[in-house]
Every structure is written in structure tokens, then in C-alpha cells.
Amino acid sequence: MKKITNTAITHGGKFHADDVFSTALLKTLNPEIKIIRAFEVPQGFDGIVYDIGWGEYDHHQADAPVRENGVPYAAFGLLWREFGESLVGTEEAARFDERFIQPLDQDDNLGGGNAVAAIIGLFNPSWDSDEDVDNCFLEAVEFAKVILDKKLESIRSIQRARQLVKDALEHAEDNIVVLPKFAPWKMVLVPSKAEFVVYPSQRGGYSAQGVPSDDDDNALKYEFPQEWAGKTAEELKSLTGIETLHFCHNNRFLVATVTVEDAIKACKLARSKKQK
């Protein structure tokens, strides 16, 4: 990976999501970086050049790079290809490129009406405005950086969740995974042998859910019994003998209890009923 210099240059005039998000990315990598907007790259410029100059982070030349799937790179994609892995790792960098950057690169190269690109475009001064275009560019960059920062934090949050759930899976008993707190769990548990997951509820007490059998299928490995669905707390206690079981979703994928022990009991009872 190349060094992030303290100076970079991109094109002046009207700006687009490509140069705006490229700038936001560079500022994420180096908060001290100085961005120059110009219409030509000065001879001997010693810094990162992007979206101008036909260099390694430009895409306007005849032999501009294209991804294996046919989506052409724009400057944002080229910079992310170079530096994104250092922010979120190889797997997540590729996923972020596919889901967020490629649509922006596609829009910059071929059009297509990307909603985020259209919003960034609104920061350009109107034809009869006296606003300074460079100031508008900086405003757009700050807006884009908020989006980028939130996206990156979301990725890192998922990475933290993956580790938390993996740790809980290693200590699971009877294919029932108990999480110390709620975290996104499907990416770890769906491919595993886990059948139920239990976690503290944001409403108090505990929730238990059946684990889906496949990422693309909502069918659960074990559903909660049909006779539990939509019943009152009193009815559930009578049906199951589980003291604090007080809710079962009509779609039978989730139950709620006061204690973690009763959540685990509900999972075991649901499984035993289906196995009979």
C-alpha cells in the first residue's frame, strides 16, 4: 500500500460524488491532508493525484481500468482498491466495493441515476448563485465523510459482532447459543449447527429466536409450536409450565421470557415437540 501524502490534487469546477467521496476517503486516511482543486496538475507535483491527470487514480483515459465483473472503476473505486483493505480488511473491503462503491463508480462513468450521487450533486452552486464552488465542494465532502464514517463504523460493528457471536457459539450447549448482549448473529449462526439463539432483550428480560436453516430461506431449523403463537402470558404458562414465558410471536420465530433459564427451557421444549 502506498503512503498517504499530506497533499492531494483533484479537478476544479463542478464536482461529482466520485471526487467528493474520494476526498472524504483521503481525509479519513489522513485527516491532515490538504486538497487542491485545479484544472491542471502542476509539473513535478508530489502528492496523490485523483480524478484528473490520467494517472493511477484517474479513469478518463482510453485504457481506464475495469473490474472483472465489467463495472468500470472511477477514482473512488481506484482509491478504495488501494487503501480500503487497510481500513476494514480484505473481505469487507470487497463487499463494500460491491455494495456501495460500484454503484457510484457506475454512475460516474455511465450515468444511471444513483440516489447518493444525485444528493451530492445538489451541493454544486446553482447557475445563478454567487457561492464559491470550492466552498461548496468542501461542504459536500463533509457531508460525504459523515456517510463514509457511518458506513465504516457499521462494518466494524459487524466485525465486532461476528467475534462476539463466534465466542458464544464456542460455549454453546445443546445447540442453543446464549449471547451476553444482542448483536447481529445470522452471519455466524446460520451456517453453524446452532438451532436457537438467546439474548437479553432491549425491552427487559430475554428473547429467544429460532435460527434459519439457510441465508436465503426464512425457514427455521426449529419453530416455536403453533399452539403458542399469539397467546397471553397466562395461557403460555398453562401450556408450557414455563413460569416467565410471556410472549410468542404469531410467526413463531421468537419468544420472550423474564429469565435466561426460561428462554433456554422454551427452546428445548419447542424442539422436543417437533421431534415427537
Strands 196-200, 176-178: parallel, antiparallel or unpaired by DSSP? Answer: parallel
Q: What is the distance between the alpha carbons of residues 106 and 113, in angstroms, rounded to a whole number? A: 10
Task: Give the model's pLDDT for residue 251.
Answer: 95
Domain ranges of the chain: 7-160, 171-275
Please return the burial class of 254, using the count of CB atoms within 10 Å of its CB with bins 0-12, 13-18 and 19+: middle
Task: Give the model's pLDDT for residue 111.
Answer: 86
Whether 59 and 75 have beta carbons less than 8 Å apart is answered as yes
**Cell numbers of 176, please?**
442453543
Q: Which residues of the chain are modeled with pLDDT < 70?
A: 1, 215-217, 275-276
CB atoms within 10 A of CB 90: 9
E strand or H helix that includes residue 94: helix 90-96
Q: What is the distance between the alpha carbons of residues 229 and 252, in angstroms, rounded to a whole number? A: 6
Q: What is the distance between the alpha carbons of residues 76 and 213, in angstroms, rounded to a whole number? A: 37
Q: What is the distance between the alpha carbons of residues 178 and 169, in angstroms, rounded to a whole number? A: 8
Q: Which residues pair with 207 in a beta bridge?
A: 199, 256
User: 98-154, pLDDT tens digit by residue?
Assistant: 999 999 999 999 987 899 999 999 999 999 999 999 999 999 999 999 999 999 999
Task: Give the model's pLDDT for residue 49.
Answer: 98
Q: Which residues pair with 254 in a beta bridge?
A: 209
Q: Strand, helix or coil at 195?
A: coil
Q: Scanning the structure block, which residue is given the C-alpha cell 486538497? A: 35
Q: At 230, give phi and psi (nearest 5°).
A: 75, 10
CB atoms within 10 A of CB 19: 27
Task: Give the model's pLDDT for residue 276.
Answer: 57
- pTM as predicted: 0.83
